[in-house]
Structure 1
Amino acid sequence: MKKSNIQLTTAQFAKLHEVNKRTLHYYDNIGLFSPDTKGDNGYRYYDLSQSIDFEYIRMLKELNMSIEEIEAYCKNPAADSFLKIADIKIKEIDIEIQKLKSIKKILNVKKDNLALCENLLEQAIRVEEHPSESILITPYDFSEDNISEIFTYLKDTWSIEQIRMGIGGFISLDKVINEEFEKYDGLYTPAISGCSSAKKITKPKGRYLCGYQKGTWDKLPCIYKKMIDFAKQNNLALVGYAYEMGLNEFAISDFSQYVTKIMIQIKDNSQI
């Protein structure tokens, strides 16, 4: 930017760029960015044309470059050096964007779950239409392990981002019918795109028999029995696995308010 005739005091320059004067004093003291001129009155002034350079320095700082790295570049600016910085930072930004998209998805899912839990009674059974959903699964017998061991296993198998989406269990329909709940078939989590290379399957779209149980896990066999009875009474043929998932674990202080959702696929005409 061409040098202008507009001279600004430290306070004026700080106000223009919405920064604290102490930031400018610090940059001046370390020689990173200093006022352009010194007036007859002994005061030092920034030229308006310095604004662009200052904003580039701020941009690099916002991109997590250290003061030392920024200072090294500013002392020897060059096209090749800038292009190298730009390529690195663009890759970092893409990673951060993907991470923020994952967090946004998690927050939206949790909001929807809490809205669903708000008006639930202790138990509810209903038929729902669901779209297809990609889920990550892992066969795991967690009946004898503690929570810390499960978490460590899943962190290594999936990722922290996936764990934040929620951890559910799945169990075969045969075990449900025979009331054999001692050993589940595995764990699952709704898949976040690009977050894990673990085994992924698609839970098909269609109708699902859904049960909602409020309270501790020892109440689940009861809701399962009621779901099987409901299916018989309404001539619903069930298939596959029962998928369990907690809906509100992060938003309650009393486990008696914990809500578990159970989903079992209903056969359509093409499956019969």
Structure 2
Amino acid sequence: MKTYHQKTFTTGEFAKLLDINKDTLLYYDKIDLFKPAGIHSNGYRYYTFEQFDQFMAIHSLRQVELPIKELKTYFEAPTIHSLQQLAMKKSKQLALELKKLQDIQFFLQRVVELTNEMKDIPFGEVLFKQLPEESIVYSEEKLDWSLSIEDLYQRSSQFLKELGVKSTAAHGTVYAKEQLFQEEDDLHHLFCHVDTSNAKKKPAGLYAIIYHKGPFDFIDDTYTQLINSLATQNLEMDGDVYEEYLLHSIAALEEEEFVTKISVKVKQTVTA
């Protein structure tokens, strides 16, 4: 009858077999998560090949960052049900973390886009650009400009919060062209560039764009400049007017440095 001799591995050998760092085994031993098969008379730890699957099971769950305490509890009596519960709990946590990372990525990408746009703004000049169709969400309630600045800010912040977007999203106030300078109807919608189920389509076409720098008290002058420029080029407004706030307080401390982007679809004036 042949005698079966079980091969043993030193810590270094077992780590090489598993393709991990030797310190990982020492750490798992220290926290009582994965112990060596035994200790030789010379005081050195040893492992056996039969421990390979056990270690890989533990290590695979550690790779998805399951807490040590939960792993130790689970491996005291592992079952299909408890494994499923661990996976479902971790999956929900990761979904929340992923959403947070996506929000951060959106914020940073938007800051890069806006800062690039704001680098070489030709203030005092009307630009004409062909723009693609975009998804736009309007606020259900109109914004009453007779409210205090605190109330206006709160309404705007609440609108963005309900949409689940950050303040760097392309947002602002939208005016019907017929009501642009009508003070008696000083109620206008908020808007945000975001693609949701209730979004409307901002049509593609030729848009006139002008940038206003400074307080809103003088923005009418910029609108007048826009309208005069359209008239000289035999153009007229062909849709809503979008007043978009570019970073503002995040990019400047003083209101004099705030930049507001005004854009409107235009068409050739039809003459009789």
* TM-score bin, normalised by smaller chain: 0.7 to 0.9
Seen in structure 2, the aligned counterparts of structure 1 residues 260 and 46 have a Cα distance that, compared at 3 Å, is farther
Moved more, 85-94 or 111-120: 85-94
Q: Provide TM-score, normalisation by structure 1.
A: 0.74
Seen in structure 2, the aligned counterparts of structure 1 residues 208 and 151 have a Cα distance that, compared at 3 Å, is closer
SS in structure 2 of the partner of residue 141 of structure 1 = strand
Cα deviation code 1:28-66 (max 9, x no counterpart)? 4553333443232334456683652443232242xxx44
* Matched-pair contact (CA < 8 Å) for 2:239–2:264: yes
SS in structure 2 of the partner of residue 124 of structure 1 = coil
Cα deviation code 1:204-263 (max 9, x no counterpart)? 111111111122222321111111111111121213321111223323344433221111
Q: Give me the whole-angstrom Cα distance separating, in 1, the residues matched to 2:22 and 2:256.
A: 50
SS in structure 2 of the partner of residue 42 of structure 1 = coil
Q: Do structure 1's residue 226 and structure 2's residue 231 form an aligned pair?
A: no
> Aligned letter for 1:75?
E
Q: Give me the whole-angstrom Cα distance separating, in 2, the residues matched to 1:18 and 1:228.
A: 70
Q: Give the alignment partner of residue 154 of structure 1, picking from 143, 155, 159.
A: 159
* Matched-pair contact (CA < 8 Å) for 1:126–1:209: yes
* Matched-pair contact (CA < 8 Å) for 1:173–1:241: yes
Seen in structure 2, the aligned counterparts of structure 1 residues 223 and 101 have a Cα distance that, compared at 3 Å, is same
Q: Give me the whole-angstrom Cα distance separating, in 2, the residues matched to 1:29 and 1:228.
A: 75
SS in structure 1 of the partner of residue 190 of structure 2 = strand
* Aligned residue number for residue 173 of structure 1: 177
SS in structure 2 of the partner of residue 149 of structure 1 = helix
SS in structure 1 of the partner of residue 235 of structure 2 = coil
- Percent identity of paired positions between Structure 1 and Structure 2: 23
**Size of the alignment, in residue pairs?**
253
Deviation at 1:192, TM superposition (A): 5.0
* Aligned residue number for residue 3 of structure 2: none
Q: Which runs of 5+ in 1 are unaligned?
A: none
Q: Give me the whole-angstrom Cα distance separating, in 2, the residues matched to 1:102 and 1:58.
A: 26
> Aligned letter for 1:191?
V
Q: Please report the RMSD computed on the Cα atoms of aligned residues, expressed in angstroms.
A: 3.6
Q: Give the alignment partner of residue 191 of structure 1, picking from 180, 191, 194.
A: 194
Cα deviation code 1:180-201 (max 9, x no counterpart)? 39834121111156xxx6x421
Q: Provide TM-score, normalisation by structure 2.
A: 0.74
* Matched-pair contact (CA < 8 Å) for 2:107–2:166: no
Q: Give me the whole-angstrom Cα distance separating, in 2, the residues matched to 1:156 and 1:167.
A: 12
Q: Do structure 1's residue 131 and structure 2's residue 136 form an aligned pair?
A: no
SS in structure 1 of the partner of residue 112 of structure 2 = helix
Q: Do structure 1's residue 81 and structure 2's residue 89 form an aligned pair?
A: no
Deviation at 1:91, TM superposition (A): 5.4
* Matched-pair contact (CA < 8 Å) for 2:206–2:266: yes
